[in-house]
């Protein structure tokens, strides 16, 4: 079985959205390893030798137990253009180490910085981020993303974004798009719709 992943933001010694990561890990444990004792991220991380200054991606690999932990300095890459790419992937509530199909989709970006993934005419995500589009009043995130990210979950819970169906043909109804994930905060990466390439 492929390993599962959690990528947690560590900013100046503080792990962000840890309860959301814990909920996602609990889901994996109950689904794939129901007879295994639950893993406490808080307990595990408190015993790790983590950096206390700077922005890091804490990357945890696990199956029925945590198998690896890495702390990687994080610098957000520049994304200014997106290429629409059709995919056929199932949505999941967890992250897997196997990104082969997502990597194949990313290779289709051409001269663009990243891909904007489309499944059966509905927008889902980019290669690494959830998305939300601004319709003039509200930020709408696709109802069925490929990955149900922790930042997305928090934004929905706080009613900063709302779920909706976003079709390719409806893109003219939106003025801008934001990309976000566990490492990229909402509003840090915003792209005008004119920079989406069909």
Q: CA Rg, the chain, in Å?
A: 17
Give the per-residue pLDDT at 98.
Answer: 73
Write down the H helix ranges in 33-149: 41-46, 100-106
The model's pTM is 0.93
Domains of the chain: 4-73 (3.30.470.10), 82-197 (3.20.10.10)
- Interatomic CA distance for residues 152 and 139, integer angstroms: 12
Mean pLDDT of 78-103: 85
Question: Can you give the length of the chain in residues?
Answer: 198
* pLDDT band at residue 89 under the 50/70/90 scheme: confident
């Amino acid at each position: 079985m492929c390993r599962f992943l959690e990528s947690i933001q560590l900013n100046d010694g503080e792990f962000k959205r840890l309860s959301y990561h814990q909920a996602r890990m609990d889901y994996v444990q109950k689904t794939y390893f129901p007879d295994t004792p639950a893993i406490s991220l808080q307990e595990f991380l408190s015993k790790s030798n983590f950096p206390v200054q700077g922005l890091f991606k804490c990357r945890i690999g696990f199956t029925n137990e945590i198998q690896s932990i890495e702390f990687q300095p994080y610098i957000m890459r520049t994304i200014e253009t997106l290429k629409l790419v059709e995919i056929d992937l199932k949505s999941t509530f967890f992250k897997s180490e196997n990104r082969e199909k997502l990597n194949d989709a990313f290779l289709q970006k051409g001269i663009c910085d990243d891909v904007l993934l489309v499944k059966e005419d509905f927008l889902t995500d980019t290669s690494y981020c959830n998305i939300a589009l601004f319709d003039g009043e509200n930020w709408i995130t696709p109802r069925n993303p490929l990955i149900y990210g922790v930042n997305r979950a928090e934004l929905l819970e706080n009613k900063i974004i709302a779920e909706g169906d976003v079709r390719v043909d409806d893109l003219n109804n939106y003025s801008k798009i934001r990309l976000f994930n566990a490492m990229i905060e909402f509003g840090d990466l915003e792209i005008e719709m004119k920079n989406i390439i069909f």
